[in-house]
Amino acid sequence: MAWVVLLMAAVLVLVNFIVWQTLETEVSERVDRALDQEIAEFEEFAAAGVDPRTGASFTDLDTLFRAHLSRQYPDRHEIIFGYVDDVPDATVPTGRVRQGQEPLFDVSADPAALADILTAPTGRGTVDTPEGALRWAKIRVSPPEGVDAPEGWFVTGYFVDADREEVHRFLRLLLLVSAAGLVAAGSAAWWVAGRILAPVRLIRQTAAQITEEDLTRRIDVTGNDDITALAEQFNAMLDRLEEAFSTQRRFVDDASHELRTPITIVRGHLELMGDDPDERREVVRLVTDELDRMARIVEDLLVLAQAQRPDFLRVEDVSLAELTSDIDAKVRALGDRDWRLDEIGEGIIRVDPQRITQAMVQLASNAVRHSSSGDTIVLGSSLTDDGGRRTVRLWVRDFGPGIAPEDQERIFERFARAGSPRAHRPGAGLGLAIVRAIAEAHRGTVHLDSALGRGSTFTLILPVDERSTGIWHAS
């Protein structure tokens, strides 16, 4: 609530400041236009060079100034005067020539103010007077060509404090209205917020009763408004949290079970190890092998944990053909098999090449594990159009024993293995779970086509983003 009032106050302050700046700018521009007009009228009069009262040409600046000023009727906030330079042995009148009307303050009669204006290096400026700030403008005036007479200055000024005082009165009124409006709006907002947030407080109180040990409590949902929708979303969030905690507990239990076995093996061998050097070497070899297996389990667990993080993938534009060729080159070192490249897709996709390579190498490693030396293993990739939905596919096919239908979904779970649970299989049963996590991180899936006796085909299916014309991107 407080931040709403503060935001409204900040907006009102900003509005008042903008209004003040706008009005001050208008006053400044209006004064500048008035000064420009006076200068322009004098220049037009002086350009004629003839006194309209006598018809004779001007011979000195004093006569020019007096003739022009006699035709001007400035108000008390304006001052117009001329000044003829005071030179020795001048044959014409010198000094100031001012309008007949008395201004608020006669700066032409004030030596200090007059000196500030006449000696200023610029043609415009401001000088402080007892009646406030005076904005002035001046031009240098020379006598007619061929006439030996002193030069001088034509000066016009405007006392701006009166106009600024009007601006300040308006701003004081605006500030008073803004403050009253802020109080009224704040009071109304407080009342409305109290009415709206009352059901939210009820939800908060109910949520406070839910603990980590007991996630089964839910908020009673009644009505058909936004608060009801909030309660439904909150209950759905609790459902997800309960499932997440349950999955975490199962995950920790499975991990502890998998790590307990190699630890037991290591401890047993170390406790029974004798003094015979050959026996010691054999124990060290067995212990090292178990420690390596534990390290692989930990690394796989870390990958699965990172799969839930937003920075799990580092996507970039990749050539599908180059990615397929690189994967083919890497998997050939996994075992003595008849490696074949079935098909290579052409195009640019946007994926994390390291994660895709990791998944494909894992699938190829599984194929090696379930085949014999010299057996055929096929890799491939393609870009396809499935009913208007473009996808990229990467697959690994082996011709091993195959997977039973009842195991085909279960093998993608953590620590799951196909076949008899007692059958010896290297690894911790996390490989296919990692593959599925990588595919789902790319918003794709893993498809398995297998039958007992005819091998298995694992296919990564990733959607393609078509936002760039002529280039296919996997999202």
Could you report the per-residue pLDDT of 5-42, keeping only the tens digit for each?
788 888 888 888 898 888 888 988 999 999 999 999 99
**Minimum mean pLDDT among 43-57, 114-128, 245-259, 273-287: which range?**
245-259
HSE of 50, CA atoms in CB hemisphere, 13 A: 6
Q: Is the pLDDT at 404 greater than 60, yes or no? A: yes
What residues are paired with 50 via a beta bridge? 57
Q: Is the pLDDT at 345 greater than 50, yes or no? A: yes
Burial status of residue 474 (CB atoms within 10 A of its CB: 0-12, 13-18, 19 or more): buried
* Residue 250 pLDDT: 62
Rg (Cα) of the chain, in Å, rounded?
A: 46
* Residue 35 pLDDT: 92
What percentage of the chain exceeds 70 in pLDDT? 84
21, 167 Cβ separation under 8 angstroms: no
What residues are paired with 141 via a beta bridge? 152
Q: Is the pLDDT at 91 greater than 80, yes or no? A: no
**Minimum mean pLDDT among 1-10, 122-131, 365-374: which range?**
1-10
* Residue 421 pLDDT: 44
Chain mean pLDDT for the chain? 82
Q: Is the pLDDT at 335 greater than 80, yes or no? A: yes
Q: Is the pLDDT at 66 greater than 80, yes or no? A: yes
For the segment 112-140, the average pLDDT, to the nearest whole number, is: 93
The dihedral through the CA atoms of 422, 426, 427, 430 has a sign that is: negative
For the segment 295-316, the average pLDDT, to the nearest whole number, is: 73
* Residue 205 pLDDT: 73
If pLDDT is split at 50, 70 and 90, which confidence band does 254 have?
Answer: low
* Nearest residue to 463 via CA among 438, 436, 445, 437: 445
If pLDDT is split at 50, 70 and 90, which confidence band does 475 have?
Answer: very low
59, 147 Cβ separation under 8 angstroms: yes
The dihedral through the CA atoms of 259, 261, 264, 270 has a sign that is: negative
For the segment 468-473, the average pLDDT, to the nearest whole number, is: 33
Q: Is the pLDDT at 237 greater than 70, yes or no? A: yes
C-alpha distances in angstroms, 318 versus 187, 261, 315, 473, 474? 59, 42, 9, 9, 10
* Residue 471 pLDDT: 34
Mean pLDDT is highest, among 197-206, 266-275, 299-308, 393-402, for: 393-402
For the segment 88-112, the average pLDDT, to the nearest whole number, is: 85
- Its pTM surpasses 0.95: no
* Residue 82 pLDDT: 93
* Residue 46 pLDDT: 87
Position with higher pLDDT, 316 vs 292? 316
pLDDT tens digits, 98-109: 877 788 899 988
Q: Distance (Å, rounded) from C-alpha 465 to C-alpha 463? A: 7
**Minimum mean pLDDT among 217-231, 236-250, 272-286, 417-431: which range?**
417-431
Q: Is the pLDDT at 264 greater than 80, yes or no? A: no
- Residues listed for the chain: 475
Position with higher pLDDT, 201 vs 378? 378
Mean pLDDT is highest, among 168-172, 322-326, 422-426, for: 322-326
**Minimum mean pLDDT among 139-143, 199-203, 255-259: which range?**
255-259
Q: Is the pLDDT at 474 greater than 70, yes or no? A: no
